[in-house]
A = this chain, B = another copy of it.
Amino acid sequence: MSPQEAAAKIAAQNDIEALPASGVWTPVLMPVDKDYAIDVARFLQHAKALLDRGCHGLALFGTTSEANSFSVSERKALVEAAFESGISPNQVMIGTGCCALTDSVDLTRHAVSLGCKKVLVLPPFYYKNMSDAGLFRSYAALIDRVGEPELRIFLYHFPQLSGVPITYGLVELLLADFPGVVAGLKDSSGDWNNTAGLLERFPDFAVFPGSETYMLKGLNSGGAGCITATANANAGAIRAVYDAWRRGDDTTDSLNEGMVAVRTAIAEYPLVTALKYLAARFYSDPAWRAVRPPMLPLSDAEGADLLQRLEDAGFERP
């Protein structure tokens, strides 16, 4: 079978193109100035570079964008600036899940009003041990209030940070009442067994591992691709693995191995600060290191160690 035939077979099996989103998506770093305000110019430059390097889409205001460290109005202003600059709403997924239902509704309506139908929605994450029925009620109220049939919600499962897992039971409840609108899930748990269980239980659902480490495993089981922070530093290599898989290339596994080594090196440090350190380095622009509190930038010593680890992993800078 030719590579083209293999790709066609895999694509048909996985039906990736039928998913509401697929491929390599990057949650974009959010540069800040010395007053911790969003630096729109640096953001736009970086976001466009990520698309140029092969990202299929951008996630704005997920964890990597320090989303929850910005107010609703700061988040709206950046989204407007992104679309005004020519980034297509179709290539963007906006993080709109807040603790307050009213904030989630506000941000989601705003996204939809600008033509962006794909939103990545954390559960309300302050109160813990909420029941699936309670969390269902939160997502249901959001969907009802936004009232947009073309809305595509990607559930955001990141229990280490949110403290509020998206259980299989909750997904079942939501798919029963909102098929189509509840379109997928980003699994940032880092737990392959959880991802595998989602892929098995919910075949028409766009399940994105939250790391490229599990992208290939996911794709081979019907996954949608990945939404991964480390694409901020290594988008080209991640896209290359994705494309090799689509073509059914023999190089897929070895490319994947190199890509995972780079991910592993970066993940030795807190991702946002490490990735901002790398952006500062690659753009020769120290301002990139700034993070909003409560984060702290990587120290010089940590940064030097990170660069060494990347070199050892065979990383080629973009």
Which one of B123, B294, B296 lies within 8 Å of A124 (CB-CB)? B294
- Is the CB–CB distance between B138 and A293 below 8 Å? yes
For A297, give the chain B residue with the smallest CB separation: B134
Asked whether any CB of chain B lies closer than 8 Å to the CB of A102, the reply is: yes
- Is the CB–CB distance between B293 and A69 below 8 Å? no
Residues of B near A103 (CB, < 8 A) are: 71
Residues of B near A124 (CB, < 8 A) are: 68-69, 293-294
Which one of B102, B123, B129, B164 lies within 8 Å of A70 (CB-CB)? B102
Residues of B near A106 (CB, < 8 A) are: 71
For A103, give the chain B residue with the smallest CB separation: B71
- Is the CB–CB distance between B100 and A70 below 8 Å? yes
Asked whether any CB of chain B lies closer than 8 Å to the CB of A160, the reply is: yes
Given contacts A36-B141, A134-B294, A163-B163, contact A102 B127 (CB under 8 A): no
Asked whether any CB of chain B lies closer than 8 Å to the CB of A101, the reply is: yes
Complex CA–CA separation, A101 to B294 (angstroms): 9
Complex CA–CA separation, A60 to B167 (angstroms): 32
Residues of B near A253 (CB, < 8 A) are: none
- Is the CB–CB distance between B123 and A102 below 8 Å? no
Q: Please report the total number of A residues contacting B with Cβ < 8 Å.
A: 40
Complex CA–CA separation, A270 to B130 (angstroms): 10
Residues 109 to 157 of chain A near chain B (Cβ within 8 Å): 123-131, 133-135, 137-138, 141
Asked whether any CB of chain B lies closer than 8 Å to the CB of A295, the reply is: yes
CB distance from A38 to the nearest CB of B (A): 10
Asked whether any CB of chain B lies closer than 8 Å to the CB of A268, the reply is: no
Complex CA–CA separation, A106 to B63 (angstroms): 22
CB distance from A254 to the nearest CB of B (A): 34
Residues of B near A173 (CB, < 8 A) are: none
Which one of B63, B74, B99, B102 lies within 8 Å of A102 (CB-CB)? B74
Which one of B36, B141, B161 lies within 8 Å of A127 (CB-CB)? B161
- Is the CB–CB distance between A296 and B131 below 8 Å? yes
- Is the CB–CB distance between A101 and B135 below 8 Å? no
CB distance from A297 to the nearest CB of B (A): 10
CB distance from A194 to the nearest CB of B (A): 19
Can you name 11 extra interface pairs (CB under 8 A) apart from A69-B127, A123-B294, A137-B296?
A68-B127, A70-B102, A71-B72, A71-B103, A124-B294, A125-B126, A126-B161, A128-B161, A130-B295, A134-B293, A141-B293
Pairs A-B, 10 closest by C-beta atoms: A138-B293, A68-B126, A68-B99, A130-B294, A134-B294, A137-B293, A71-B102, A134-B296, A138-B294, A124-B294
16 contacts between A and B (CB under 8 A): A68-B124, A69-B127, A70-B100, A70-B102, A71-B103, A74-B100, A99-B99, A126-B161, A127-B161, A133-B296, A134-B293, A134-B296, A135-B293, A137-B294, A137-B296, A163-B163
